């Protein structure tokens, strides 16, 4: 198996070719240490020197994280407040007008979170980094145009960050460039990070790809009043220190907090303050896409996606350079990529690098929450209460809202049934969502109890899920199918435990492939018998006879085994096919015999011979599927493993449909113990 360095190096090699970058340098950061790094290509054309972790690149808009941190040093010192109007610090902005008269004054928070309403200006700003102070003054005197009313929308603005630089200078009395150097770069030992292109050492030359040829971008623009948005030069080694510094803010903890910026201020920078969009992205060029939410904190972008969770970072792009840094605060892992081609997509390279690390199980363990001692004690007391209920113990444990939400009498009845099914309950595993809220398992994993404490550390809710108790959810909640079943009564059994959970997963995955307005998703149930039809509907007297017959039949039966066999399509319906277990076949035969003896109305299931009866759980009722989509669905279903622990149905349910919502006529518990 390839080493981590080889695997990640392969990612950046592919992206160097994909973006036509002459050179790329990359690094992986773990808990503040640069644990792997490398380079691809050349620092300059005509020279065989390869870039490495010490090669200098311009990092462009990644600079905003440094400017944001410099601003936060002033917030920490109490010299600046993020929610003060910007005109407090920049009087030139006092006369600016907005798209609507009801807009609030622009604040520093609006600027750093990209919600000031200024228009996106990458193309212009990238060519004006060296703008002089006089030119900026003239620009501000002209009063800026606004795309949105401040505080209402995300809109990426470089001019906004030039204003942040002006605010810092006005409050600190020094240019933001100097404050970044003295307050951040110096203390962190980032000696290779500068605001001007270094005159010596390994510095990547800037190129643009045009018609299959690399063109030199010319001398990069120098330091200016817009540079706080994107002027910094740095290396992978120095940026690893920066990424490690921001990662070190997590988790919140006691102890030494020495450093250029307190941990709370670094965390503040990495919180999602303004959402940009919900989008789909492809983390590897040939891989599947998935959804993510993106937005902005303070000089840093935040992404939330279903596999990696929360990640923080920033891209950079200028003529001749493209860069990215990204990290997972909860895992302590970061990736850096720097290239010397105009706007090289290192964002995509870093995302794919994370996918490779995830595939290799090298992101480290997911963060866990340590439960408060009071939550541990409340969980133990709750398990004891559910085993042997007394109102006195309940009143000593619960907050006053619990009995109002559900009477103690009703809770005691449910606890008695739980204890009868599982015996003595003890906390087997406590999973804390927060120090004062979580869930615990008991009864060999078949019981899950959600528990939450209030501000007084008393139990404010206690929700019990018994995996051996069938669902009470309606079988079908869509009136279209109920109309088709009008006049019928069905006898069904429901899976419990792992089969019920697996059904939900399979159904979700099936709906992802076939879902649409013509699709109906039923609850998990296997049909044993049906009575009546739309043309010959069951009447109320027949319903009473059916309930009487099924109740007597169930009392003489043992629980029915339900075992998943495979996924497939039955009469055009995607289903979980069940084994014809001995108990299912016996139940089917004896129920049919009881129905015949009682002369109950015939139903559609009577036309199926017993030996051909195919027990199943319907995943979805689907309208007509095109042939290619049906073939795709069937191919997927054939490849899904259904190996789960068997389920035992403890009761039969009698359900009537009359064209409206389903009516449950009876729950009939199987009376004999299983063999």
The DSSP bridge partners found for residue 275 are: 295
| Secondary structure string (H, E, C) spanning 626-655 | CHHHHHHHHHHHHCCCCCCCCEEECEEEEE
Specify which of 56-70, 127-141, 609-623 reaches the highest per-range mean pLDDT.
56-70
Question: Could you give the angle at which helices 346-359 and 4-18 cross, rounded to 10 degrees?
Answer: 150
Give residue 193's pLDDT: 98
Mean pLDDT of the chain: 93
535's CB contacts (< 8 A; 6+ apart) are: 487
**What 3-state class would DSSP assign to 282?**
coil
Which tens digits make up the pLDDT trace of 459-482? 999 999 998 877 888 998 888 888
What confidence category does residue 618 fall into, taking pLDDT thresholds of 50, 70 and 90? very high
What confidence category does residue 145 fall into, taking pLDDT thresholds of 50, 70 and 90? confident
Nearest residue to 470 (alpha-carbon basis) of 500, 447, 513? 500
What confidence category does residue 160 fall into, taking pLDDT thresholds of 50, 70 and 90? very high
**What 3-state class would DSSP assign to 580?**
coil
Give residue 363's pLDDT: 94
Dihedral sign for Cα atoms in the order 336, 342, 343, 348: negative
Give residue 591's pLDDT: 96
80-113 as b/e: b if 16+ CB within 10 A = bebeebbebbbebbeebebeeeebebbbbbbbbb
Beta strands in 537-572 (DSSP E): 560-562, 564-570
**What 3-state class would DSSP assign to 462?**
strand
Token pair for 508:
């979700």
Which tens digits make up the pLDDT trace of 367-420? 889 999 999 999 999 999 999 999 999 999 999 999 999 999 999 999 999 998
- Tell me whether the CATH fold assigned to 4-251+262-359 matches the one assigned to 373-466: no
Q: What percent of the chain lies above the pLDDT cut of 70?
A: 99
pLDDT for residue 517 is more than 80: no
pLDDT for residue 614 is more than 60: yes
Mean of the pLDDT values across residues 301-325? 96
Give residue 674's pLDDT: 46
- For domain 479-669, the CATH superfamily is Cyclic phosphodiesterase (3.90.1140.10)
Helices (H) and strands (E) in the chain, counts: 20, 25
**What 3-state class would DSSP assign to 256?**
coil
A 10 A CB-CB count for 474 gives: 14
CA distances from 596 to 529, 546, 592, 600 (A): 12, 11, 6, 6
What CATH class does 4-251+262-359 carry?
Answer: alpha beta
In the chain, where the domains are located? 4-251+262-359, 373-466, 479-669
Give residue 673's pLDDT: 57
pLDDT for residue 68 is more than 50: yes
CA-based end-to-end distance of the chain: 50
Second-level CATH architecture of 373-466: Roll (3.10)
What confidence category does residue 675 fall into, taking pLDDT thresholds of 50, 70 and 90? very low
């Amino acid at each position: 198996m390839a080493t981590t360095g080889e695997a990640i190096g392969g990612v950046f090699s592919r992206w160097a070719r994909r973006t036509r970058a002459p050179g790329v340098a990359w690094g992986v950061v773990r808990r503040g240490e640069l644990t792997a790094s490398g380079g691809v290509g050349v620092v300059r054309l005509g020279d065989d020197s390869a870039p490495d972790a010490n090669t200098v690149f311009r990092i462009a808009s990644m600079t905003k994280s440094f400017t944001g941190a410099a601003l936060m040093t002033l917030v920490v010192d109490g010299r600046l407040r993020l929610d003060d109007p910007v005109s407090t610090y920049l009087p030139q902005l006092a006369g600016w007008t907005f798209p609507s008269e009801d807009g609030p004054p622009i604040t520093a928070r609006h600027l750093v979170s990209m919600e000031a309403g200024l228009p996106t200006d990458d193309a212009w700003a990238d060519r004006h980094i060296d703008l002089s102070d006089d030119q900026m003054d003239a620009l501000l005197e002209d009063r800026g145009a606004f795309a949105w009313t401040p505080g209402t929308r995300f809109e990426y603005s470089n001019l906004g960050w030039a204003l942040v630089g002006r605010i810092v200078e006005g409050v600190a009395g020094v240019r933001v460039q100097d404050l970044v150097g003295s307050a951040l770069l110096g203390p962190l030992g980032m000696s290779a990070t500068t605001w001007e292109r270094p005159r010596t050492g390994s510095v990547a030359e800037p190129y643009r790809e045009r018609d299959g040829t690399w063109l030199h971008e010319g001398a990069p623009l120098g330091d200016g009043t817009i540079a706080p948005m994107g002027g910094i030069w740095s290396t992978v080694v120095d940026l690893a220190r920066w990424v490690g510094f921001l990662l070190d803010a997590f988790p919140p903890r006691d102890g030494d907090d020495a450093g250029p910026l307190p941990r709370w201020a670094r965390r503040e920078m990495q919180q999602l303050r303004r959402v940009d969009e919900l989008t789909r992205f492809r983390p590897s060029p040939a891989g599947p896409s998935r959804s993510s939410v993106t937005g902005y904190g303070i000089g840093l972008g935040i992404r939330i996606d279903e596999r990696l969770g929360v990640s923080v970072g920033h891209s950079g792009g200028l003529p001749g350079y493209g860069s990215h840094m990204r990290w997972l605060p909860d895992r302590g892992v970061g990736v850096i990529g720097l290239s010397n081609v105009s706007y090289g997509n290192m964002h995509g390279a870093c995302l794919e690098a994370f996918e490779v690390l995830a595939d290799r199980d090298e992101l480290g363990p997911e963060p866990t929450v340590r439960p408060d001692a009071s939550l541990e004690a409340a969980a133990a007391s709750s398990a004891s209460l559910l085993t042997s209920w007394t109102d006195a113990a309940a009143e000593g444990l619960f907050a006053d809202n619990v009995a109002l939400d559900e009477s103690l009498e009703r809770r005691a009845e449910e606890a008695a049934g739980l204890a009868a099914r599982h015996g003595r309950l003890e906390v087997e595993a406590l999973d804390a969502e927060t120090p004062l809220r979580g869930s615990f398992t008991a009864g060999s994993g078949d019981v899950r109890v959600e528990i939450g404490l209030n501000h007084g550390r008393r139990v404010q809710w206690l929700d019990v899920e018994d995996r051996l108790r069938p669902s009470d959810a309606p079988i079908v909640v869509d009136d279209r199918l109920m109309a088709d079943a009008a006049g019928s009564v069905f006898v069904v059994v429901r899976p419990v435990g792992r089969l019920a959970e697996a059904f939900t997963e399979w159904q979700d995955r099936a709906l992802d492939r076939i879902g649409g307005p013509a699709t109906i998703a039923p609850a998990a149930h296997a049909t044993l018998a049906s009575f009546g039809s739309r043309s010959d509907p069951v009447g109320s007297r027949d319903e009473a006879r059916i309930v009487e017959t099924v109740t007597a039949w169930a009392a003489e039966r043992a629980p029915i085994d339900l075992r998943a066999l495979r996924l497939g399509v039955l009469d055009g319906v995607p289903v979980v096919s069940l084994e014809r277990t001995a108990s299912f076949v016996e139940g089917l035969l004896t129920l049919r015999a009881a129905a015949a003896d009682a002369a109950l109305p015939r139903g559609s299931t009577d036309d199926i011979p017993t030996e051909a009866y195919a027990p199943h759980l319907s995943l979805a009722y689907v309208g007509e599927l095109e042939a290619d989509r049906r073939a795709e669905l069937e191919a997927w279903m054939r490849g899904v493993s259904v190996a789960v622990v068997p389920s035992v149905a403890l009761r039969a349910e009698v359900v009537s449909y009359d064209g409206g919502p389903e009516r449950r006529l009876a729950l009939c518990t199987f009376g004999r113990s299983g063999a």
